[in-house]
Amino acid sequence: MNIQLRFFASVRENLGMSEQKVVLPEDVGTVGEVRAWLVARGDVWAEVLAPGRALRMAYNQQMCEPDTRISEGAEVAFFPPVTGG
- The pTM score is 0.94
The pLDDT of residue 9: 94
pLDDT digits (tens, 9 = 90+) for 3-49: 999 999 999 999 999 999 999 999 999 999 999 999 999 999 999 99
Question: Is the predicted pLDDT of residue 83 greater than 70, yes or no?
Answer: no
**Rounded CA separation 85/76 (Å):** 28
The pLDDT of residue 82: 77
Q: What domains sit in the chain, N to C, each tagged with a CATH number? A: 2-79 (3.10.20.30)
